[in-house]
Chains A and B, each alone.
Chain A
Amino acid sequence: DADVTQTPRNRITKTGKRIMLECSQTKGHDRMYWYRQDPGLGLRLIYYSFDVKDINKGEISDGYSVSRQAQAKFSLSLESAIPNQTALYFCATSDNRGPQPQHFGDGTRLSIL
């Protein structure tokens, strides 16, 4: 089983819809992250959480929200999706030994029509 599991793997939806991307991990890590990847732009941090009661905005948090339901679960929501949120989304985790994300999920490819 994967250490970091993202669902769904692919999603196509319409502008204005609410979407939730789920992430769960079996690493027992406190830190979790949501990134989006766009061609030619690399990865950009959306939100991150260092424990269940800690939520922080990243570089591009506008239009997104998150919920850390448990140590193992960190979900990303798009309240009203727009086409420029079409991207590949990655969840990642890390332990407390450094700032870098260590384990990435396989990604969710999201298309907003």
Chain B
Amino acid sequence: AQSVSQHNHHVILSEAASLELGCNYSYGGTVNLFWYVQYPGQHLQLLLKYFSGDPLVKGIKGFEAEFIKSKFSFNLRKPSVQWSDTAEYFCAVNAQGRDDKIIFGKGTRLHILP
């Protein structure tokens, strides 16, 4: 079965710092990949998704993620974070053609210092 690992449980950065949150998945076949964000007290929102094509995916709010198949990774990046990016970020994977379930990682809590 597919699984997702987010190695950074809690990240603290200052404003304007660059961000990279790690996400690795385990599944030998073709995957769909997602990043969601949950701002404090709010529900989850889809940040970006990868189905196929260009492995560099751009999402909302200046976020991007790169799919590296050889590393089974889909890391989330932002060149310059803002205080408003404080939130919890979840990576998720779906095994293409296997079923329609999405498996979420355990999340990374990002705290941006003003």
Given the interface pairs A98-B51, A99-B94, A100-B94, the reply to whether A48 lies near B101 with Cβ below 8 Å is: yes
CB-CB nearest in chain A for B41: A106
Q: Say whether A106 contacts B43, CB under 8 Å.
A: yes
A58 to B102, CA, bound (A): 10
Q: Say whether A107 contacts B43, CB under 8 Å.
A: yes
Q: Say whether A105 contacts B105, CB under 8 Å.
A: no
Given the interface pairs A90-B43, A107-B43, the reply to whether A42 lies near B34 with Cβ below 8 Å is: no
Give A14 Cβ to nearest chain B Cβ, in Å. 27
Q: Say whether B107 contacts A42, CB under 8 Å.
A: yes
B11 CB-CB contact with A under 8 Å = no
Q: Say whether A42 contacts B90, CB under 8 Å.
A: yes
Q: Which residues of A sit under 8 angstroms from B9, Cβ to Cβ? A: 40
Q: Say whether A90 contacts B44, CB under 8 Å.
A: yes
Q: Say whether B104 contacts A42, CB under 8 Å.
A: yes
Q: Which residues of A sit under 8 angstroms from B104, Cβ to Cβ? A: 35, 42-44
A48 to B30, CA, bound (A): 22
A12 CB-CB contact with B under 8 Å = no
B73 CB-CB contact with A under 8 Å = no
A98 to B46, CA, bound (A): 13
Query: Given B32, B44, B46, B100, which contacts A43 in the complex, CB threshold below 8 Å?
Result: B44
Give A66 Cβ to nearest chain B Cβ, in Å. 15
Give A48 Cβ to nearest chain B Cβ, in Å. 7
Q: Say whether A102 contacts B46, CB under 8 Å.
A: yes
Q: Say whether B32 contacts A100, CB under 8 Å.
A: yes
Give A20 Cβ to nearest chain B Cβ, in Å. 20
A78 CB-CB contact with B under 8 Å = no
Chain B: residues with CB nearer than 8 A to chain A? 6, 9, 32, 34, 42-46, 49, 51, 90, 92, 94, 100-107
Given contacts A42-B107, A58-B101, A99-B32, 16 further A-B contacts (CB under 8 A): A40-B107, A41-B106, A42-B104, A42-B106, A43-B44, A43-B104, A45-B103, A48-B100, A98-B49, A99-B102, A100-B94, A101-B44, A101-B102, A104-B43, A106-B42, A107-B43
Chain A: residues with CB nearer than 8 A to chain B? 4, 31, 35, 40-45, 48, 50, 58-59, 90, 92, 98-102, 104-107
